[in-house]
Amino acid sequence: MTGPRSAELFRRARDVIPGGVNSPVRAFRSVGGEPIFLARGAGARVWDVDGREYLDYVGSWGPLVLGHAHPEVIEAIREAAADGTTFGAPTEREVRFAELVRSAVPSLERLRCVSSGTEATMSALRVARGFTGRDRIVKIDGGYHGHADVLLVEAGSGAATLGIPGSAGVPADVARNTLVVPWNDLPAMRALFAAPEHRGKIAAVIVEPVCGNIGCVPPAPGYLEGLRELTREDGALLVFDEVMTGFRVAWGGAQARFGVRPDLTCLGKIVGGGLPAAVFGGRADVMAKLAPEGPVYQAGTLSGNPLAMAAGLKTLELLARPGTYERLETLSARLEAGLRGAAERAGVAVHLNRVGAMFTAFFAEHAVVDYATAKQSDTARFGRYFRAMLERGVYLAPSQFEAAFMSLAHTEADVDATVSAAASALAACSSAGA
């Protein structure tokens, strides 16, 4: 399956880079086989170093909503690069970027740019703690918010894929301040807030408003509203980690789609337009605690990097055009319907969750509503499906516990080709051990 050049590069990579990869899920551990090394991408397609072409539903794990190497984004990066790549001083692009992001996400009364989603969530929680004077954080079982110590507790994404619920190297003293409850379970969240030992000690609840890192699992009706009410009553802050959902499930993110206004929001992935940029922000009174206005320290040499701002600005400008999210919805709904039909015809139990242009086909008999039900999926069958799709030229995330992403570069013909590939892949992987 893996071509000779990929195999050779992986051999060299393993010698110098732990696991041969710079982020764990890229190693294909949970699906078997070895990773393909990619050489280039254009639109909805990528090519590996052995010259094989794939239809891409990874999109660099979320950022590439316009597809690979969008000409206008590349031109914006080129223009910015010609002016110099970094200054460590304020630039006009940062202001324009921040204004555009706020116009799309009005709850971001004040925002700051950082370079990764990890930095965004880490900084948001620090300012939440600084503002409330409280230490405890509540997160969701299987929620993934990057790899800051405080958030690597029962985490999703690669930690879920590799079965590492609590990372080694995170001090127990740090993990103790992180409380974990199941997704979509409002009574559990209520019970936590009602417990005498936590009263007045919870700084923030951080959630992905659509879970994406245990695979795509939407919020139950009323769940996000319930979190809003509960945190407000308690004086804890509600933090939406929209690193994945921001500008993915709607212009303005999940908070626009579901109509719930958090106190703080984290953005990443799409806002960087394929370069390293992320955002955290929210209520002006909370963000006023940040240095240099306030006592909460946060900084970054490359924060608001000119190239990343240029790529992000251009990406958001293109997304702001009328009809983009309708187009993503149409394409994604077409794929969803096609996959459902293909699974039914193949007689394979698949539970498909989708919110806009993010979706996951769980190999599960039952509805997937939280991490516990996601974990009941047949991951061995997923592995066979993944490999069968790759052989048929469709590149999916190499884990059952990840979302797939549609881009504006995909076409109806691409979607139909994907459905045909899936029909044949499902037939091939329906027999055990195939």
Ligand X SMILES: *Cc1c(COP(=O)(O)O)cnc(C)c1O
Contact positions vs ligand X (CB under 6 A): 116-118, 121, 144-146, 208, 212-213, 241, 243-244, 268, 278
Within 10 angstroms of residue 42's Cβ, the number of other Cβ atoms is: 15
- Taking the least distance from each CB to ligand X, the nearer of 122 and 230 is 122
- Taking the least distance from each CB to ligand X, the nearer of 157 and 418 is 157
Q: In angstroms, what is the minimal distance from the CB of 7 to ligand X?
A: 27
Residue of 48, 141, 241, 414 marked active site: 241
- Taking the least distance from each CB to ligand X, the nearer of 66 and 140 is 140
Residue of 57, 144, 371, 395 marked active site: 144
Q: In angstroms, what is the minimal distance from the CB of 244 to ligand X?
A: 4
Are residues 366 and 376 in contact, defined by beta-carbon separation less than 8 angstroms?
yes
Q: In angstroms, what is the minimal distance from the CB of 210 to ligand X?
A: 9
- Taking the least distance from each CB to ligand X, the nearer of 207 and 230 is 207
Its sign, for the CA torsion 204, 260, 211, 251, is negative
Are residues 142 and 362 in contact, defined by beta-carbon separation less than 8 angstroms?
no
Which residues partner with 355 through β-bridges? 358
Backbone φ and ψ for 220, nearest 5 degrees, come out as: -65, 150
Q: In angstroms, what is the minimal distance from the CB of 89 to ligand X?
A: 24
- Taking the least distance from each CB to ligand X, the nearer of 117 and 383 is 117
Are residues 401 and 215 in contact, defined by beta-carbon separation less than 8 angstroms?
yes
Backbone φ and ψ for 130, nearest 5 degrees, come out as: -65, -35
> Two tokens at 87?
């200054």
Q: In angstroms, what is the minimal distance from the CB of 129 to ligand X?
A: 18
Whether residue 223 lies in the annotated active site: no
The closest residue (CB) to ligand X is 117
Amino acid at 420: S
**Three-class SS state of 1:** coil
- Taking the least distance from each CB to ligand X, the nearer of 208 and 234 is 208
Instruction: Determine the longest span between alpha carbons in the chain, in angstroms.
Output: 62
Q: In angstroms, what is the minimal distance from the CB of 347 to ligand X?
A: 33
Residue of 223, 234, 263, 269 marked active site: 269
What angle do helix axes 412-429 and 324-346 make, rounded to 10 degrees?
20
Q: In angstroms, what is the minimal distance from the CB of 242 to ligand X?
A: 7
Non-local (6+) Cβ contacts of 349 within 8 A are: 343, 363, 364, 365, 378
- Taking the least distance from each CB to ligand X, the nearer of 1 and 38 is 38
Pairwise CA distance, residues 327 & 124, whole Å: 32
Q: In angstroms, what is the minimal distance from the CB of 49 to ligand X?
A: 24
- Taking the least distance from each CB to ligand X, the nearer of 240 and 385 is 240
Are residues 313 and 272 in contact, defined by beta-carbon separation less than 8 angstroms?
no
Characterise 39 by phi-psi region: left (phi > 0), alpha (psi -120 to 50), beta (else): alpha
**Three-class SS state of 97:** helix
| SS3 of 274-289 | CCCCEEEEECHHHHCC
Whether residue 395 lies in the annotated active site: no
| Total residue length of the chain | 434
**Three-class SS state of 298:** coil
Whether residue 144 lies in the annotated active site: yes
Backbone φ and ψ for 99, nearest 5 degrees, come out as: -65, -40
Helices (H), 105-209: 117-132, 158-161, 172-175, 186-194
Helices (H), 295-377: 306-319, 324-346, 371-374
Residue positions annotated with a catalytic role: 144, 241, 269
